[in-house]
A = this chain, B = another copy of it.
């Protein structure tokens, strides 16, 4: 069967769907091809286990694709000369422009025993997730290898199911690539209070067992009981299809793209987890793969489809998560990361509550940390932990970072406040933290 479209999008995750939505109504005929019958919402996957209860509650609704032709099939090759893609089921689809949004695959470490039954990676596939769910249902001792977002969120959800959960993290702290130590410790304490065991600074040597995983052996020889193991050490970009089509790719960093999200073939774009990224701050390559980054890149690509007009300015990196009732968010560089990037930094901090007065019902402590470049006083990064508004406060911080706001700009922000919705205008913590940084900087000259 031969088909024809102005725009063909390969991949039905957040990047692909967002590209379709952004291009709709201004791009002629759009075909989106995805392998999965139903597409899972990737960020929701951990929440299938303790909160949502069923994978069927974590489906990306196809009604988002109204006006787009959805084909469930797998693209097996791209002919760049003829501008066609060929699918497993034998379709040939001619494109004017093509967007690759083919995602990523979990990295499986090469340790002995990873092939055992009951050792799982987190694939964005509903059948896989269902299998995992039923395996966990019959398990008691769960070891999660990797204390990143997936690891921490799975830990919190699985302990809600009553499992004994242990996180094993190679770095000194969980979430240590996204937050500075003091914030990581808060999350770790919250996890521990909820009954999760955390072992940091150690890797996994092997997984022991006959058919099923029975024990996890750590780098220091310690052995943990396990009747299920989740591998959550990261993801790698899916580059095979692009490489086979002669596009420039790097197995670690992804499909090479320019600032318009175009591959070396100007008719082919790549967005999301499969595409190469660079830092907003240093312009250097960055291995950070998040849905929110994917959707941003998709919107940039969709805008540039028929005429390059807006440039990708690089990844800021905005993260939010929640453990039990503690929420945490970060945008841009941590203090640690900023120093590693060679910035001389000045930090500002503020602690208050997220409603006012403090006596308001459900008022929660909120802590904000801002990291500024000492020379220019431009904001480089921010971290916040508190209650349920923490995620959107993180987004205020992300906007400030994108705008290269200085500490003085932030000190004079105009914000709105309300007793039940925000901290007090007198001590609005983003503003107070900027004031704190300016005062510290004056003191230290």
- A395-B422, A421-B322, A421-B390 given as contacts; is B361 within 8 A of A414 (CB)? no
A126-153 interface code vs B (CB 8 A; 1 in, 0 out)? 0000000000000000000000000000
In the assembly, what is the distance between CA of A423 and CA of B316, in Å?
19
Closest residue of B by beta carbon distance from A21 = B426
In the assembly, what is the distance between CA of A174 and CA of B403, in Å?
35
In the assembly, what is the distance between CA of A444 and CA of B198, in Å?
58
- A413-B402, A416-B292 given as contacts; is B43 within 8 A of A391 (CB)? no
Closest residue of B by beta carbon distance from A442 = B26
Chain B residues with CB below 8 A from A439, complex form: 25-26
A404-435 interface code vs B (CB 8 A; 1 in, 0 out)? 01001001111111111110111110010001
In the assembly, what is the distance between CA of A394 and CA of B25, in Å?
29
Which residues of A in the span 338-369 have a Cβ within 8 Å of any Cβ on B?
356-357, 359-361
Chain B residues with CB below 8 A from A413, complex form: 296, 398-399, 402
A329 at the interface (CB under 8 A from B): yes
Closest residue of B by beta carbon distance from A322 = B420
A22 at the interface (CB under 8 A from B): yes
Q: Report how many residues on chain A are interfacial, defined by Cβ distance under 8 Å.
A: 84
Chain B residues with CB below 8 A from A396, complex form: 392, 395-396, 399
CB A256 to nearest CB in B, in angstroms, measures 21
Interface segment, one of A58-66, A113-121, A221-229: A58-66
A327 at the interface (CB under 8 A from B): yes
CB A21 to nearest CB in B, in angstroms, measures 7
Chain B residues with CB below 8 A from A58, complex form: 357, 359
Chain B residues with CB below 8 A from A425, complex form: 14, 18, 43, 291-292, 294-296
In the assembly, what is the distance between CA of A398 and CA of B300, in Å?
24
CB A233 to nearest CB in B, in angstroms, measures 21
A10 at the interface (CB under 8 A from B): no
- A356-B41, A425-B292, A426-B64 given as contacts; is B442 within 8 A of A415 (CB)? no
CB <8 Å contact, B47 and A360: yes
A235 at the interface (CB under 8 A from B): no
The listed residue with most B CB atoms (<10 A of its CB), out of A41, A330, A392, is A392
The listed residue with most B CB atoms (<10 A of its CB), out of A64, A405, A421, A428, is A421
A263 at the interface (CB under 8 A from B): no
A44-82 interface code vs B (CB 8 A; 1 in, 0 out)? 100100011000011110001000000000000000000
A375-411 interface code vs B (CB 8 A; 1 in, 0 out)? 0000000000000111111111011101101001001
CB <8 Å contact, A402 and B416: no
- A295-B425, A357-B41, A425-B292 given as contacts; is B394 within 8 A of A416 (CB)? yes
A contacts, CB < 8 Å to B: 14, 17-18, 21-22, 25-26, 41, 43-44, 47, 51-52, 57-60, 64, 280, 290-296, 299-300, 303, 310, 313, 315-316, 318-322, 327, 329-331, 356-357, 359-361, 388-396, 398-400, 402-403, 405, 408, 411-422, 424-428, 431, 435, 439, 442
A-B contact list, 8 entries, CB within 8 Å: A14-B426, A25-B439, A64-B427, A318-B415, A319-B416, A322-B421, A391-B418, A399-B413
Q: Which 8 A-B pairs have the closest CB atoms?
A: A391-B421, A318-B416, A320-B418, A392-B392, A57-B359, A292-B425, A295-B425, A391-B422
